[in-house]
């Protein structure tokens, strides 16, 4: 098991806020907070355990208009907003009346994370990872990524003034390459797929001292950032939980953390407890969790991804089994859709709500549609769908589908001939 | 003079909030609120006049986290936030400590409008234009645009459920075309430059009934949206004005409206009055206002634009003379920079603050740098620089400048050879 630093770091008082320990998700074994991510007893994934203080809605509402309003519930120091970071979060929760009508839903909201600093939800998790890297004394901030994470890490690292090295597959789309390289001189293209890049990152984390790979050796801290999506949904609904949430599944971490956030809010008395159903969305070309859900089994069989939804293309999802548990326990489901359904849904969301989502968001909206049509989702219940990223990053997915209705000479006569005035 | 509707529309009570009239900027002649944009006496541009109520900081702070928190100061109805819109504004004001150190400034902030719903400040003005279009009973929502405005109009129109027709030059970059076409089936490509497209829009506005061209026949309402940039800067600084602001100049409208916003806040007692200096930024390839400023003349000689900063490429800026007035009166200046300086500044802002700006923002940051170096800007005074749009829309400007530091095989040995671990 690699470490950010070889020696146990000297942690300052309150370095991780109200976090008390790292707790194994599998066996429950607890260890001290530090640069660890796997249980020393059973190698299960470690998660942050807390002893939360009394937190009030008013305290949160008086906080900054970004994720640090929830700092008391995150593994970050109480002065976190003073450290340079991209200030992500508190994105729009849009009343999606048009899309609701189109799909036959009584009430639908879009939680739109495409307006985050680097245009995806990854800015949330990276902000928490950056804080951990700082507190653990890391010298290098790094990640393996298929795109969105690379953008977020490179931007946050630049602003924090820490050496930042980002690893991507060498065949990554040009927009996502530029959107990382613009922030860091140390973008490394790796000949291989994401799994190869990820393995290399683990190798480097084991060999080099002081490297904080956000999604590898500081993953427990990183993953907690996704809880803020759940907190925001509840606060923006007026401190209540929705009835149903549809969430994309890549590693599955985000879905588990939204559930964790809802549970924490209930326990803290910040929202009223109530049943809610959580649904997972995958692309058929990479749907190991959906396949297991439909087969009624607990084991997830890894797949080789083949889908345009590249930011969801994790063939062996680390949190897949927890996604299954949560979707089953809450009465939700996991569903998958074809690439054509993904493309259609990107256009559908744009034409109804003015939100341009990337393929991951297209997957989630397409799954929402399919869940309604198959009767798995209750159309009369209040529903939230999460849009995790921006369409400008995956232009190729739709550039063949949309375009000018006409190309004309610059004259009124030419325009009149198009018939668009009457259309 | 074209009209949104031929007959004077029946306006509902409070359709334009506390706006009282349309007032000519040149001769001061006032006319009733309606679908007009040019003075019937002198053909000067019309601007909104108000009779503001007493507004308190607390009322504003209790409002929504978007531009409608300032609705009492805009020509919109008091229930504006209930109408479907993209909910723009209240974007980040980033403490730009790294860039400040790099440039030798005591205190610098970046007002980052690249995180607006369609990733530029245009979402602000379009939201106000949409309200006016609705209140005036328009049937069609439209604009001529070089990109950012097209994106904002198409998205807002989709969400509002109004017929939306967007006109662009047929040679526009593909990302901006897709980012409009995704929202509307009625994107019209025009063989010609922006001036040709603009003329066509004016022709259609004159021929067709019920078309609201946001930047043509509802321009007085539209332009007021830029005031919210000024309001937000003041509120986010803790209800104070900065000493210096650097603002890009295309038509010049945004700069004049930020000044108007500051003046209104002072008059309303929402901030303390103080001297401040306003600076305008242009690209040398389209710098008619900067040329006039430097020549010490009042007349602006139109130019044929030739610059990568296409969203600033207006050769005959409608508000150019007012920009000159304001920059001279406040002790500011207008400056221009080359396309190479624009590219360098895009990378500089990204590497220091983790913000990826488009060419317009690159222009503004490059001008900031030049103003410091030439001694025109006081490095000891608190300065705000406005970033108006997102770098993902103008990727080509920098895609040749940044990229992977290395392309390697997926092994630690290959990585070690790059020397990046030690760098």
Task: Reply yes or no on whether the pLDDT at B5 is more than 90.
Answer: no
Least confident range from A5-9, A146-150, A379-383, B160-164: namely A5-9
**What is the per-residue pLDDT for A1?**
39
Return the DSSP state at B182. Answer: T
Least confident range from A5-19, A235-249, B60-74: namely A5-19
pLDDT tier at B4, thresholds 50, 70, 90: low
Task: Please list every residue in chain B whose beta carbon sits closer than 8 Å to the beta carbon of residue A84.
Answer: 95, 97-98
SS3 content of chain B, % helix, strand, coil (to 5): 40, 15, 45
Burial code of A388-414, b = ≥16 C-beta within 10 A, e = fewer? bbbbbbbbebbeeebbbbeebebebeb
Mean pLDDT of all residues in B188-209: 93
Shortest CB distance from A408 goes to which of B184, B190, B420?
Answer: B190
Mean pLDDT of all residues in B140-162: 96
**What is the per-residue pLDDT for A195?**
84
A318 touches chain B (CB under 8 A): no
> Are B415 and A200 in contact (CB < 8 Å)?
yes
A contact residues 227-246, partner B, Cβ 8 Å cutoff: none
A157 burial type by CB count under 10 A (0-12 exposed, 13-18 middle, 19+ buried): buried
R_g of chain B, CA atoms, integer Å: 21
Shortest CB distance from A354 goes to which of B158, B347, B406?
Answer: B158
pLDDT tier at B2, thresholds 50, 70, 90: very low
Q: Are A308 and A394 in contact (CB under 8 A)?
A: yes
Mean pLDDT of all residues in A225-240: 98
pLDDT tier at B325, thresholds 50, 70, 90: very high
Task: Please list every residue in chain A whose beta carbon sits closer than 8 Å to the beta carbon of residue B389.
Answer: none
What is the least distance, in Å, from the CA of B20 to any CA of chain A?
A: 32
Task: Reply yes or no on whether the pLDDT at A105 is more than 70.
Answer: yes
B199 touches chain A (CB under 8 A): yes
Closest CA to B349 of B407, B311, B397, B308: B397
Rounded Cα distance between B155 and A351, Å, is 8
Half-sphere exposure of B121 (CA within 13 A, CB side): 32
3-class DSSP state of B134: helix
Per the listing, tokens 């007035």 go with: B325
> Are B398 and A178 in contact (CB < 8 Å)?
yes
**What is the per-residue pLDDT for A5?**
54
Task: Reply yes or no on whether the pLDDT at B6 is more than 60.
Answer: no
Mean pLDDT of all residues in B416-423: 87
Task: Reply yes or no on whether the pLDDT at B175 is more than 90.
Answer: no
Task: Reply yes or no on whether the pLDDT at A118 is more than 60.
Answer: yes
Q: Give the containing element (helix H, strand E) for B272.
A: none
**What is the per-residue pLDDT for A2?**
46
> Are A155 and B402 in contact (CB < 8 Å)?
no
Which carries the bigger pLDDT value, residue A3 or residue A414? A414
> Are A156 and B354 in contact (CB < 8 Å)?
yes
> Are A351 and B415 in contact (CB < 8 Å)?
no
For the residues of B14-29, what is the DSSP string, one character each?
Answer: TTTTTEEEEEETTT--
A303-361 pLDDT tens trace? 999 999 999 999 999 999 999 999 999 999 999 999 999 999 999 999 999 999 999 99
> Are B392 and A392 in contact (CB < 8 Å)?
yes
Which carries the bigger pLDDT value, residue A56 or residue B11? A56
Shortest CB distance from B412 goes to which of A204, A353, A405?
Answer: A204
B43-57 pLDDT tens trace? 999 999 999 999 999
**What is the per-residue pLDDT for A171?**
86
Task: Reply yes or no on whether the pLDDT at B142 is more than 90.
Answer: yes
Task: Reply yes or no on whether the pLDDT at A277 is more than 80.
Answer: yes
Task: Reply yes or no on whether the pLDDT at B7 is more than 60.
Answer: no
**What is the per-residue pLDDT for B106?**
98
A352 touches chain B (CB under 8 A): yes
Closest CA to B113 of B130, B135, B137, B92: B92
B90 touches chain A (CB under 8 A): yes
- Percentage of chain B beyond pLDDT 70 is 98
Task: Reply yes or no on whether the pLDDT at B326 is more than 80.
Answer: yes
Task: Please list every residue in chain A whose beta carbon sits closer than 8 Å to the beta carbon of residue B403.
Answer: 177-178, 181, 187
Task: Please list every residue in chain A whose beta carbon sits closer than 8 Å to the beta carbon of residue B179.
Answer: 356, 391-392
Rounded Cα distance between A122 and A310, Å, is 14
Close Cβ partners of A416 (under 8 Å, ≥ 6 residues apart): none
3-class DSSP state of B390: strand
Asked if the ipTM is above 0.90, the reply is yes
Shortest CB distance from B391 goes to which of A182, A354, A423?
Answer: A182
Task: Reply yes or no on whether the pLDDT at B174 is more than 90.
Answer: no
**What is the per-residue pLDDT for A308?**
95
Task: Please list every residue in chain B whose beta carbon sits closer than 8 Å to the beta carbon of residue A174.
Answer: 395, 399
B257-278 pLDDT tens trace? 999 999 999 999 999 999 999 9
What is the least distance, in Å, from the CA of B415 to any CA of chain A?
A: 8
**What is the per-residue pLDDT for A146?**
84
Mean pLDDT of all residues in A79-98: 96
| Residue of chain A with shortest Cα separation from B171 | A407
Domains of chain B plus CATH, in order, are 93-119+224-399 (3.40.50.1100)
> Are B118 and A356 in contact (CB < 8 Å)?
yes
Task: Reply yes or no on whether the pLDDT at A212 is more than 50.
Answer: yes
> Are A412 and B191 in contact (CB < 8 Å)?
no
| Residue of chain A with shortest Cα separation from B346 | A182
Task: Reply yes or no on whether the pLDDT at A100 is more than 50.
Answer: yes
Task: Please list every residue in chain A whose beta carbon sits closer than 8 Å to the beta carbon of residue B84.
Answer: 95, 97-98
Shortest CB distance from A404 goes to which of B97, B155, B181?
Answer: B181
Mean pLDDT of all residues in B52-67: 96
pLDDT tier at B171, thresholds 50, 70, 90: confident
Which carries the bigger pLDDT value, residue B8 or residue B362? B362
Task: Reply yes or no on whether the pLDDT at A291 is more than 70.
Answer: yes
Task: Please list every residue in chain A whose beta carbon sits closer than 8 Å to the beta carbon of residue B161.
Answer: 98
pLDDT tier at A4, thresholds 50, 70, 90: low
**Residue of A354, A406, A421 to mutate for B, most B C-beta atoms under 10 A:** A354
Dig out the tokens for A331 from the structure.
Answer: 């009465």
| Residue of chain B with shortest Cα separation from A353 | B159
């Amino acid at each position: 098991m690699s470490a950010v630093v070889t020696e146990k770091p000297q942690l300052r008082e309150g370095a991780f806020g109200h976090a008390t320990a790292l707790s194994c998700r599998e066996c429950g074994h607890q260890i001290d907070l530090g640069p660890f991510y796997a249980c020393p007893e059973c190698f299960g994934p470690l998660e942050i355990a807390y002893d939360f203080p009394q937190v009030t809605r008013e305290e949160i509402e008086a906080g900054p208009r970004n994720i640090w309003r929830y700092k008391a519930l995150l593994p970050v120091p109480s002065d976190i907003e003073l450290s340079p970071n991209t200030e992500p979060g508190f994105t729009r929760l849009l009343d999606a009346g048009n899309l609701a009508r189109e799909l036959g839903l009584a009430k639908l909201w879009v939680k739109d994370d495409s307006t985050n600093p680097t245009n995806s939800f990854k800015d949330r998790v990276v902000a928490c990872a950056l804080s951990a890297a700082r507190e653990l004394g890391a010298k290098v901030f790094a990640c393996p990524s298929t795109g969105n994470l690379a953008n977020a890490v490179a931007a946050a690292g630049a602003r924090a003034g820490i050496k930042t090295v980002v690893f991507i597959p060498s065949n990554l789309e040009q927009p996502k390459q530029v959107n990382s390289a613009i922030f860091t001189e140390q973008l490394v293209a790796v000949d291989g797929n994401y799994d190869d890049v990820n393995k290399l990152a683990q190798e480097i984390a084991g060999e080099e001292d002081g490297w904080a790979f956000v999604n590898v050796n500081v993953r427990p801290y990183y993953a907690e950032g996704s809880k803020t999506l759940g907190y925001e949904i509840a606060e923006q609904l007026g401190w209540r939980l929705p009835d149903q949430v549809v969430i994309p599944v890549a590693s599955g971490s985000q879905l588990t953390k939204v559930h964790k956030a809802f549970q924490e809010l209930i326990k803290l008395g910040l929202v009223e407890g109530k049943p809610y159903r959580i649904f997972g969305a995958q692309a058929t070309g990479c749907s190991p969790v959906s396949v297991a859900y439909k087969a009624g089994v607990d084991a997830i069989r890894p797949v080789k991804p083949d889908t345009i939804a590249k930011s969801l293309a994790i063939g062996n999802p680390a949190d897949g089994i927890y996604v299954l548990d949560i979707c089953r326990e809450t009465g939700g489901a996991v569903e998958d859709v074809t690439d054509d359904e993904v493309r259609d849904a990107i256009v559908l969301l744009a034409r109804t709500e003015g939100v341009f989502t990337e393929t991951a968001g297209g997957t989630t909206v397409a799954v929402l549609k399919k869940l309604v049509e198959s009767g798995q989702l209750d159309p009369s219940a209040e529903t939230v769908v999460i849009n995790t990223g921006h369409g400008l990053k995956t232009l190729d997915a739709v550039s063949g589908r949309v375009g000018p209705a006409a190309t004309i000479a610059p004259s009124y006569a030419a325009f009149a001939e198009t018939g668009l005035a009457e259309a």
